[in-house]
Amino acid sequence: MSFTFNNKTVNNVGTLNSNGEVTARVEASMMALPPSRRLSEWRAQLGERCDISRLFVTRDESYTALTALQFTNGETASEVRAQTDVRQADGTTLTDRRLFFFTLGGGTIRGDVNCPATHEAYAFDVQLRPGWNTVHEISTFGLTLKQRGTVQYVAEPGATYAGRLLVTADNEGDVR
């Protein structure tokens, strides 16, 4: 398994066994420090298409984010993401995807974002502490993928994950 960050690929960070078990270890020193993005960039990017008047960044901090690991099986390139999908009684699907952020300091982005043109909405409660942080990206999808509720971002300290994984084959579009 490998990951690419800041145009640098780091190989041999983990294994995907034939029984589906994944073991990976990513150290902050592997991620081409210092952190390269700032929380204010996230706000600015959303501001290009959304109302961000209720989204606030306090202690604008640099961070790095690891969202997926890559692996190849012969000719097929695939991604592994820390993600849990749970079908709800009403037919919707609750998705909790984990993003792993590393920061040298602490920073906060909180508030709500509304995007009238695209019917998107976001709610942020992300307080990054020095070191690794797990940021939950929580969303609910309706019976069709076009229906999506407010996407919530919530952070907690630490970055250990033991749970379900989503594996996507890049060249086939398959999800397993």
pLDDT: which is higher, 77 or 61: 61
pLDDT at 34: 59
Using one digit for the tens of pLDDT, what is the confidence trace for 68-89? Answer: 777 776 677 777 788 888 888 8
Residue with tokens 């700032």: 38
**DSSP, residue by residue, 87-126:** E-TTS-EEEEEEEEEEESS-EEEEEEEEETTTTEEEEEEE
Note whether 2 and 71 are within 8 A (CB): yes
**Other Cβ atoms within 10 Å of 107 Cβ, number:** 24
Using one digit for the tens of pLDDT, what is the confidence trace for 31-53? Answer: 666 567 889 998 999 999 999 99
Identify any residues that bridge with 81 across adjacent strands, giving them in sequence order: 166
Instruction: Give residue 38's Cα distance to chain centre.
Output: 15
Residue 171: pLDDT over 50? no
